[in-house]
Structure 1
């Protein structure tokens, strides 16, 4: 029994040694195998993790920038669209107003046409009634337009050519001359002098200028730059015009254009001088009519010059009243 146990123990020891021997052998064999291969070293590559993030951020910034630009463009388009809408609305309102005015004008035109027809009928009826009452042979004693008698056959313009008139009121003077000529469609003669009696056209000194459309145009054209010396006193011009151009049987009107009469002159003496030259006939009418137009140029200057304006108005009103004419004082010289 003991021998058998001893053999078993020896067998166990041998088996254990075999196992250990096999283990060492395996290790030695493994070492021999690995010695023939080169050692392997592991390398770690640093991955740049920040690079993808930076690119994404840059892309994000670009997208945001493009978005802002797109938003600005969109807002600009919206504002432009709003402006177009406002303009369209304004144009629609204007068109509506124009249509309303057109309709109103059409209605007024119809009313005016009807009124003209009624006036024409009334004029015909009045003319017929006047002929019945006054008779077929009735004629007016004289022609009056705007309170100014226009029955003269000859007209003389006496124009103050002083600096105050020429540099301030000349455009209005040209207009007034044209208006007076229009009042007289046809006369036998015209003459133009300044307030001192100087002639605009020396070739017609002492004689009448024939009344033709070309002569009238020449008068206006020459008058634009005509400014001889003047002492702003109409006395010399009036006396020369009456003494030179009056002829018995001729109807003559003198038109005086001025802006002042200097304090040195005497209004009474001027009136008496004109009365002596422009004497009244047996019927009380004067040789020539004297009309006057006053231009308030000096009212725009210092008040000390205003007296000359009042003196001119007083003188010409008196002369016009005594000599069968009219005096017109303008409110403005422009």
Structure 2
């Protein structure tokens, strides 16, 4: 029988001790690790208190004032809009009323066949007195029927004339018995006026300036509203500016023109001297120039 070997017992004994040692070491390590574990972290909510000194009360008051001002302005704008709306409605009503009134007046005028107006064909016809200054030179006399017809037309557009007169371009009355006098405007006087004009004869120098000056000196002071009609075809004078200055001087009283001076230019003269002069005379004296 084999005797147990001592070496076998030593091997077993060492292995057991190794196991015990390792186990003990493990337990020590576990205890040390468990002891070193950090405590759990607990999060607490942070409450921040705003110090009274950090609030801008001045800014708050400014904002309050601004808001109040804007609110007041908004109210004013609304009230203004209401007022304007009412005014607009009233204006529209007034316009409608005026339109209706104008329409009724136009209908009445149409029924009457005429409308009262101080103008006829662009020529002012509000004069109370009328003076004709007519060039009676040879070129005008050769077409006299047209001249007298034009005078009749001019008289016809003045239905409210108180008196009238007709002068040559030299300033002489062409109606016998009425030199320096007004001819009262009546139907019989107009008929006699036209007949006398058709048969008249007078010396002429083909310059209307003398006739205009005579009308302003003699007849303008005796007239309420004077209209002078100059009919001619030529101007033989040489001083345009002198003629204009003399007429301006005679036809001005207290800074205003005392008479309207109109002109009708006939095409039978030499050149455009008559139209050049009379266009400026009419312009300066609130008149109308008509070139035929």
Once the two structures are TM-superposed, the CA of residue 246 in structure 1 deviates from its matched residue by 1.6
Tell me by how many angstroms 1:205 deviates. 1.5
Q: Pick from 314, 319, 328 the counterpart of residue 281 of structure 2.
A: 319
What CA deviation, in whole Å up to 9, does each residue of 1:59-80 have, x standing for no partner? Answer: xxxxxxxxxxxxxxxxxxxxxx
Alignment-derived partner of residue 166 in structure 1? 141
TM score, norm. by length of structure 1: 0.52
The corresponding residue for 2:96 is none
Q: CA deviation at 1:125?
A: 5.5
Contact 1:246 / 1:287 at 8 angstroms: preserved in 2? yes
Match of 1:42 in 2: none
Asked if the contact 2:220–2:259 (Cα under 8 Å) also holds between the matched residues in 1, the reply is yes
1:127 is paired with a residue of what secondary structure?
A: helix
Aligned partners of 1:267, 1:202: CA distance in 2, in Å? 32
Q: CA RMSD in A?
A: 2.3
2:264 to 266, 284, 293: 293
Deviation at 1:219, TM superposition (A): 1.2
Structure 2 portions without partners, runs of 5+? 1-98, 107-114
- CA-CA distance at 1:225 after TM superposition: 1.9
User: What's the CA shift string for 1:83-139, capped at 9, x where partnerless?
Assistant: xxxxxxxxxxxxxxxxxxxxxxxxxxxxxxxxxxxxxxxxx96723779xxxxxxxx
Residue 197 of structure 1 is matched in structure 2 by 171
Partner residue of 1:273 out of 210, 228, 246: 246
CA separation in 2, counterparts of 1:147 and 1:280?
Answer: 25
Distance 1:267 1:128, change over 3 A: same
| More helix per residue | 1
Q: What is the total number of aligned residue pairs between the two structures?
A: 186
SS at structure 1 position matched to 2:247:
helix
Distance 2:186 2:105 in 1: 36
Partner secondary structure for residue 187 of structure 1:
coil
Distance 1:126 1:265 in 2: 56
Structure 2: distance between partners of 1:129 and 1:239: 47
Secondary structure of the 1:256 match is strand
Given that residues 281 and 287 in structure 1 are in contact (C-alpha distance below 8 angstroms), is that contact kept between their aligned partners in structure 2? no
1:197 touches 1:237 (CA, 8 Å); kept in 2?
Answer: yes
Alignment partner of 1:153 is 2:128: yes
Cα distance in 1 between the residues matched to 2:136 and 2:157: 23
Q: CA deviation at 1:202?
A: 3.7
1:220 equivalent to 2:194? Answer yes
Q: Which residue is equivalent to 1:58?
A: none
**Aligned equivalent of 2:205:** 231
Deviations 1:18-58 (A, max 9, x none): xxxxxxxxxxxxxxxxxxxxxxxxxxxxxxxxxxxxxxxxx
Contact 2:119/2:126 (8 A) holds in 1: yes
Instruction: Give CA-to-partner distance per residue, 1:225-274, whole Å, 9 cap, x none.
Output: 21211001111111111110122771000000000012x42111100010
Partner of 2:183: 209
Q: Which runs of 4+ in 1 moved over 3 A?
A: 128-131
Partner Cα distance (2:222, 2:156) in 1: 26
Return closer, same or farther for 1:151/1:187 CA change in 2, 3 Å cut-off: same
Q: Quote the offset at 1:281 in angstroms.
A: 3.7
Residue 187 of structure 1: aligned partner: 161
Distance in 2 of aligned mates of 1:260 and 1:322: 20
